[in-house]
Chain A
Amino acid sequence: MSKALLIKNGIVYDPLNGIDGERMDIAVKNGVIVEDVSGKDIEVIDASGMIVMPGGVDIHAHIAGSEVDAGRLLRPEDHIKDVEPKTPYTRSGVGYSVPSTWTTGYRYVRMGYTTVMNPSMPPLEARHTHEELNDTPIIDKATYPLLGDSWFVLEFLSRDMIEECAAFVAWMIKATKGYAIKLVNPGGLETWGFGGNVESIDDQVPYFNITPREIIRGLCKVNKLLNLPHTIHVHTNNLGKPGNYLTAIRTMDCVKDLADGERAIHVTHCQFSSFKGVDWATMESGADAIARYVNMHDHVTIDMGQVIFTDTTTMTADGPFQYGLHLLTGNKWVNHDVETETSSGIVPFRYRPKSIVHAVQWCIGLELALLIKEPWKVFVSTDHPNGGPFFKYPDVISWLMSEKARKTVMKKMRKAALKRTTLPSIDREYTFYEVAIATRAGPAKALGLENKGHLGVGAIADIAIYAINPENVNPSRDYKLIRNAFSRAAYTIKSGEIVVKDGKVVGYAQGKTYWVDVEISDEAMETIKMLGEVFKQYYTVEFENYPIPEDYLAASHRIPRKSGI
């Protein structure tokens, strides 16, 4: 649309451009932020007394694909308690922890979020993910193919054939229209094919002559060779096991020497990988150890994986972990082993404040965000829906900004739980600037999304305006106002279109699916041709039928990259 927009007088937080609560105007034309607008046909938004931030960027939320849809199908009881009727601007749908796709898009923009990354895509079923993303309205999105247990990757890396592996990964990312390399319990998922798991990053993966350490390092090297915008995105081995904080630290450390002064690894939903103790009776927070490591090393970023006390649905590609959760809770269990590539599992789960373990988990997510000094290293997430539904992010923001808010929640917990964490002694409170980093600028930077997460000239006009005045509000005391303001954006603008007013969806914008197209040499293509010849031995679909054409995406945003192969 060639519409011009002028947001006047707002209090702007734009950390990527160093703007910390300055009163300024933001001008938009043709979906992009511009220096100024002039002329008659300008829509003016009076943002006086309101916060203006870039649209939210969610680095990790399970919103689309086979595992999410299996979760939806599994849980009619989750939906009937939370329905969304049709309106003139919106399709009907359902929530709660596994919302339908239309509802997902609307609920994100109502919070002022405009970009969401779907982190777990089994490459064989990539079409499913993209069909659902096509039906997730308004927000821009991307997805990460699961590559950490792909037979081709394991075979190449066990023979140290990094360049051939890189060619394969480049082809995979293009074929599945993906954005980044995802590893989940690397090595463990292949072992789960026969019902086993790995227990450390130096365990052998049966039949493949490789260890998780070699997979992580190999894919880190591949990531660098291919010049991908994000780092490898890793769900660690031993997730959810007491004592696993050591695995997390070893995972981060094993690629330290490959970093070359840049970021090398993103450990996702780090809360679930930060447990000390030897069993559930002795489980306690390992967040301080993780934070200490992250504070001392610059090659790592993480996202929180914050727990919310509610009935939610766990779903990850970590098949063996999910089976373990089924045994622990007795809840219904879905498993899906994807040939040649990966697995997944789904188990409904309720987090209760009176449970010592759940309470410690709740504390860990916040400890990580508060103990890590550099806000550009830690981002807000609940690993939706594993820790809790994404529309609870405003609660997370209020806990970060207000010690009082945290104490109110901690009052519900047993003293025995509070003894196992340092959270009660932490009085740090996030500023609006830090919140803007943790929910927008930080993830955008870590993802290499150049035109997002900031409000500088040239950025895509994804803007959120919240009805809260930093000059009149004390977030520490008035955390409920913070939570309410971030739940219902006064305005959300997507690509220059006003899509939300006062927390209601009033418009539409076509969200795009971002994917990376890495250019590889003809020599590298030879590797792919060779794979095509043996493809049928690995898969039950034809090589010609595997890749997804670009026009499969409702709105494609191709990101070309030049690589080193």
Chain B
Amino acid sequence: MVTVSSVVCPVCGCLCDDLEVEIENGRIIAVRNACSVGEAKFLNYWKHRNKPMVRKNGELIEVSIDEAIRKAAEILAEAKYPILYGWSSTTCEAIKVGLELAEELGGVIDNTATVCHGPSLLAIQDVGYPGFTLGQSRHRFDLVIYWGSNPWSAHFRDLDRYSAFSEGRFQISAWRRAFAKVYARIAAKKMNAASKRTAAKYAVSPPFGSELVDTLLREDRKLVVVDVRRTATAFKADYFLQVKPNKDFELLQAFRVLVKDGELDVDEVAGVPVELMEEVVDVMINCRVGVLYFGVGLTMSKGKIRNIEAAINLTKELNARTKFHILPMRGHYNVTGANVVFAWTTGFPYAVDFSHGYPYYNPGETSVVDILCRGETDASLVIASDPVANFPKKAVKEMVSNPLIAIDPAPTPTTLMADVVIPAAYAGIEAPGTAYRMDHVPISLRKVVEPPPGCIPDEVIVKRILNEVRRLRRG
């Protein structure tokens, strides 16, 4: 049995890199330090794997990997305006080749930000982005706000690895504070009971230790949650603001007014009492360093890009009073990497069109959901993503009515509807490569076991398709 430590978890934007994995007979049998989702991936990766398949006469038939790659290349080489989509759950090395392929084909390449944090990227392009790496959160931040994001259920280790419950050079953990309070209360109770018993027998001065030591009551780190319902994270918060659905923009703008010492003429905004807002603003202004983490609650509710703009502007304006940061909670473990690689290769983070021979970017025009809904494409390649399960129905219908190539380790609704299925190795388990954490820190994923026979790394698959496309087009 072999133990490998410092393994990087390829699931969510936390990109935890302290996992320990036990391997026996070439298979992972135990994982330590991972959350339940990470553990599930490391223990079940070997199940239900794809085989190379091509659809013939309406049925997916198993073929050799060479035939599948050749068929994929034929489809793409013949297409006039293919879309290459996904890229968020694979390595940067694969994404680099994907961009080269899109350029060769003159097609469109897009990643999952297009249905997730695309509005955040657009807002950043408008107003900027006061950001940080997660260690700063651990060491310095004494005010943590989650808006439209529920890390307790989505980024499981975020709270105690990076934020409200973590420990750093200048911040002690809230867990320790919470435990200390609990123990102190128990101890105070016991002392009270004991001194009452003795007071009954003897005349003694009033019991001491019946009050909690005030240092324990001093709040070192505060957690604020703003959400449409009381999420699991909200139960742990010092302040919970329940915002009416689709009213986040109003609430953010109202906060901006209060931060600038303005006054609101109303009693409540978006369902939140102004008195509560004023208390929270007080906490914001008086904090040492604060942060606003936000998620799809803001990016995909009414306002979208305007919500994020308002959130970023609020953060910028708070920097005039104190030190404040903002961070989007990215979902896929390498969607940040996709944005990063796209940007250095083409200048743009997603929705890049190469049909003119140079990179062109205009979300709404060059984003794949819009292209599909307008029926403008004639072939798709999907990798490390599952659009058939996630995209709007109209887009899915269009996608499956054209030739569809799917590259994935395991069956998904997308692979089941595809015309070509190419089995990939799991990045971070069976294939190495680079991934970017949601705060833009790059970490190298490890290969800890061999992939099943016939499954190859995404980078190799895309490279082989590219070579075959070149051979077909240039003769």
Chain A residues closer than 8 Å to B161, beta-carbon distance: 540
Known: A93-B358, A131-B442. A340 touches B135 (CB 8 A): yes
Known: A74-B125, A75-B125. A93 touches B346 (CB 8 A): yes
Chain A residues closer than 8 Å to B349, beta-carbon distance: 73
What is the chain B residue whose CB lies nearest that of A101?
B344
Instruction: Name the segment of A122-130, A277-285, A382-390, A419-427 touching the other chain.
Output: A122-130
Query: Please, how many angstroms separate the alpha-carbon atoms of A194 and B316 in the complex?
Result: 15
Query: Please, how many angstroms separate the alpha-carbon atoms of A70 and B96 in the complex?
Result: 18
A339 interface residue, CB < 8 Å from B? yes
Q: Which of B121, B348, B436 contacts A79 (CB 8 A)?
A: B348
What is the chain B residue whose CB lies nearest that of A75?
B125
Assess whether A193 is in contact with B140, with CB atoms less than 8 Å apart: yes
Assess whether A336 is in contact with B17, with CB atoms less than 8 Å apart: no
Chain A residues closer than 8 Å to B344, beta-carbon distance: 64, 68-69, 72, 100-101, 131-132, 135
Contact mask for chain B residues 306-338; partner A; CB cutoff 8 A; 1 contact, 0 none? 000000000010010011010000000000000
Query: Please, how many angstroms separate the alpha-carbon atoms of A190 and B444 in the complex?
Result: 27
B100 interface residue, CB < 8 Å from A? yes
Query: Please, how many angstroms separate the alpha-carbon atoms of A83 and B357 in the complex?
Result: 10
B64 interface residue, CB < 8 Å from A? no
Give, as a whole number of angstroms, the nearest-CB distance from B119 to chain A: 14
A470 interface residue, CB < 8 Å from B? no
Q: Which of A66, A100, A335, A540 contacts B440 (CB 8 A)?
A: A66
Known: A80-B361, A86-B103, A333-B316. A73 touches B133 (CB 8 A): no
Assess whether B359 is in contact with A127, with CB atoms less than 8 Å apart: no
Chain B residues closer than 8 Å to A83, beta-carbon distance: 358-360
Assess whether B345 is in contact with A101, with CB atoms less than 8 Å apart: yes
Q: Which of A92, A98, A538, A545 contacts B6 (CB 8 A)?
A: A545
Contacting residues of chain B (59-77) with chain A, CB-CB under 8 angstroms: none
What is the chain A residue whose CB lies nearest that of B442?
A127
B276 interface residue, CB < 8 Å from A? no
Assess whether B347 is in contact with A79, with CB atoms less than 8 Å apart: yes
Query: Please, how many angstroms separate the alpha-carbon atoms of A170 and B463 in the complex?
Result: 37
Q: Is the interface of B mostly helix, strand, loop or mixed?
A: mixed
Chain A residues closer than 8 Å to B17, beta-carbon distance: 541-542, 545
Known: A86-B103, A334-B130. A195 touches B361 (CB 8 A): no
**Residue from B133, B136, B358, B441 having most chain A Cβ neighbours under 10 A:** B133
Chain A residues closer than 8 Å to B452, beta-carbon distance: none
Contact mask for chain A residues 528-547; partner B; CB cutoff 8 A; 1 contact, 0 none? 00000000111111111100
Query: Please, how many angstroms separate the alpha-carbon atoms of A75 and B122 in the complex?
Result: 10
Give, as a whole number of angstroms, the nearest-CB distance from A65 to chain B: 9
* Interface residues of B, count at CB 8 A: 61
Q: Which of B18, B92, B436 contacts A542 (CB 8 A)?
A: B18
Contacting residues of chain A (84-101) with chain B, CB-CB under 8 angstroms: 84-86, 91-94, 98-101
Q: Which of A151, A195, A207, A336 contacts B323 (CB 8 A)?
A: A195
Contacting residues of chain A (76-123) with chain B, CB-CB under 8 angstroms: 76, 78-80, 83-86, 91-94, 98-102
Known: A69-B343, A100-B345, A194-B288. A541 touches B441 (CB 8 A): yes
Query: Please, how many angstroms separate the alpha-carbon atoms of A101 and B319 in the complex?
Result: 33
Chain A residues closer than 8 Å to B347, beta-carbon distance: 72, 76, 78-79, 93-94, 98-100
Query: Please, how many angstroms separate the alpha-carbon atoms of A125 and B440 in the complex?
Result: 8
What is the chain B residue whose CB lies nearest that of A542?
B6
A45 interface residue, CB < 8 Å from B? no
Q: Which of B18, B124, B138, B356 contacts A334 (CB 8 A)?
A: B124
Contacting residues of chain A (329-354) with chain B, CB-CB under 8 angstroms: 332-340, 346-347
Query: Please, how many angstroms separate the alpha-carbon atoms of A127 and B6 in the complex?
Result: 17
Besides A75-B125, A91-B345, A194-B289, 6 new A-B residue pairs in contact (Cβ under 8 A), listed by A number: A74-B129, A124-B133, A193-B323, A332-B126, A542-B18, A543-B6
19 A-B contacts (beta carbon < 8 Å): A69-B343, A70-B440, A79-B359, A80-B361, A85-B357, A86-B354, A92-B359, A94-B358, A101-B345, A128-B436, A135-B96, A193-B136, A334-B131, A335-B128, A337-B132, A337-B136, A347-B128, A540-B134, A541-B441
Q: Which 5 A-B pairs have the closest CB atoms?
A: A339-B135, A195-B323, A332-B128, A94-B347, A127-B442
Interface residue ranges, A against B (CB under 8 Å): 64, 66, 68-70, 72-76, 78-80, 83-86, 91-94, 98-102, 124-125, 127-128, 131-132, 135, 151, 193-195, 207, 323, 326, 332-340, 346-347, 536-545, 552
